[in-house]
Structure 1
């Protein structure tokens, strides 16, 4: 292993880029499980678990173990980020931006830990919790970009209209995800029985969220039609994005009409990480065709 770090190949670096993407998705899901099991204040303070100890004690019960376990995963992410950075730095054929991306991801992970600590210190304020989630989405996007760079696949040149559709789809994805955090902040799964809610009506914001999903799907379908005779990588990325959106939409609707059961909410969070990964993958696999300036409006 040490020798492979000294003389990394493309396959070795790509493996670490995949590890970075998967790990940043996994910690979103485990963080969701902390909330869904009402373990958000299992460790009632930060950076210690309690005022006296960095680790949970028996009085905190299973909630303390779950919350502390999720905190420990941050160190796993840091280790993966450092390993990815080192592999890229040692790789003779590393793309120019790859090293900068590994640094951004490595800085973002401890920053995410700090935001997580603030959520605990604010007793799981839903607006801070949403920021915690959104920062993970940023790290997922950066990881997808890194993966495309180290795989050595050049983004496909497309005309201004197609590029606008892809960028609009990516922006719509962020709107959908953000609205989803508002719905979550108004719903029953607060992370702790005494945690505050944002005071908004979940039925109203679920409807707004649903309308945004319709817009997202419409943009994706339009992109699919526009790219059907275009670059294969961009077309396939759009196909998978549409499949994931439809699956996520079904899960979201079923969980809503069944009063958000824990299992479906967990699946919905898995879907959110997959969707953001695919939306970022679609975005980084296209670029403006030379001599075709992008104009909106």
Structure 2
């Protein structure tokens, strides 16, 4: 049965995914320009104003701009929910995913407020970033679901490859988490007075690099394996992820040996979002969801069949 596409929801879901990634980049700009306390309180920007003032300078503009993007993102995700709710027939999975993303946006705002109120505690800042990664995963799943059916998942590869994909995904998540730890030990704190996590930057950076090498090996192995079992969609997703990882790894090494220039750190933050998006893409590419089969028409029972009375 041909798949049903959802033309209204699909571009909105893609816009939500792009905006969530954009929020990570603007958040990086806040941290890298020492604008983390550009609005020193929350939910207001100052004690007397919800918006930035001329006295806050450029740091206030950057921080307040990031907050405005969060509002725009909420509007986009609200449009996704309305579109998912109004589609005919209504698909519960799209509604659930859109609600998940929608509720995550104010949650992200609350965590962002806590980062300000705790004077940019590095662990809270890290949680703020990880919540963005969760929202990116949900937004991608919503976008992907718009070209799938509503049937039960059908796996396209054997169990060993599914297990290897799961291991790769866990290692990718570990790379992201360790990257957060590295960031919390480094110099770009978001404000000159913000504390660091106290860990040795060289040691945590080495642990991060070791996980990256493991991730590269697992992704390459998946690419070869998917090609061997003739799973083209999964192979394309794995190859795309491998290219992203290699690019991200190159940026990471260059930024480390050039003492973390702001432009490269921002590119690395964007790369982290793309690595995670690519990971979710591989995870979802190993299965499909067919359309639900239409119910078979009821056949009349023998007891209800008309009886001939002719002689």
Partner of 2:156, secondary structure, is: strand
Instruction: Please report how far the alpha carbon of residue 125 of structure 1 lies from its aligned counterpart in structure 2 after TM superposition.
Output: 0.2
Alignment gaps of 5+ in structure 1: 1-8, 289-297
Q: For residues 237-287 of structure 1, what are the alpha-carbon distances to aligned partners after superposition, in whole Å with 9 as ceiling and x for unaligned?
A: 000000000000000000000000000001001111111111011111223
CA separation in 2, counterparts of 1:277 and 1:93? 29
Q: State whether structure 2 residue 169 is matched by structure 1 residue 173.
A: no
Question: Equivalent residue for 1:190?
Answer: 189
Displacement of 1:16 in angstroms is 0.7
How do residues 142-157 of structure 1 correspond to structure 2 at under 5 angstroms? 142-152=138-148, 156-157=155-156
Report the counterpart of residue 264 of structure 2 in structure 1: 264
1:98 maps onto 2:94 in alignment: yes
- Deviation of 1:157 (Å): 1.8
| C-alpha displacement of 1:156 | 4.7
Determine which of 43, 48, 52 is the counterpart of 1:52: 48
Output the CA distance in 1 between the equivalents of 2:204 and 2:90: 45
Quick check: 1:14–1:150 contact (8 Å CA) kept in 2? yes
1:217-251 Cα deviation digits (max 9, x unpaired): 11101111111133211110000000000000000
Q: Tell me the residue number matched to 1:223.
A: 222
Distance 1:94 1:126 in 2: 42
Note if contact 1:244-1:275 (Cα within 8 Å) is conserved in structure 2: yes
Which range moves more in the overlay, 59-68 or 94-103?
Answer: 94-103
**1:7-156 equivalence runs, <5 A:** 10-152=6-148, 156=155
Q: Are the equivalent residues in 2 in contact too, given 1:95–1:149 (CA < 8 A)?
A: no
CA contact (8 A) 1:94 1:150 kept: no
Matches of 1:59 and 1:104, distance apart in 2: 38
Q: Give me the TM-score of the superposition, normalised by structure 2.
A: 0.87
Question: In the aligned structure 2, how far is the partner of 1:76 from the partner of 1:38?
Answer: 23
The corresponding residue for 2:249 is 249
SS of 1:11 mapped into structure 2: coil
Distance 2:89 2:255 in 1: 47
1:12 Cα offset (Å) = 2.2
The aligned length equals 281
Does structure 2 retain, via aligned residues, the 8 Å contact 1:39–1:191? yes
Structure 2 match to 1:207: 206
Q: Report SS of the residue matched to 1:151.
A: coil
Aligned equivalents of 2:19, 2:52: Cα separation in 1: 24
Larger Rg: 1 or 2? 2
Write the distance in 1 (CA, Å) between the matches of 2:9 and 2:93. Answer: 14
The alignment's C-alpha RMSD in Å is 1.6
Q: CA deviation at 1:94?
A: 4.9
SS at structure 1 position matched to 2:198? coil
TM-score by length of 1: 0.91
Gaps of 5+ in 2: 289-311
Deviation at 1:155, TM superposition (A): 6.1
Quote the offset at 1:100 in angstroms: 0.2
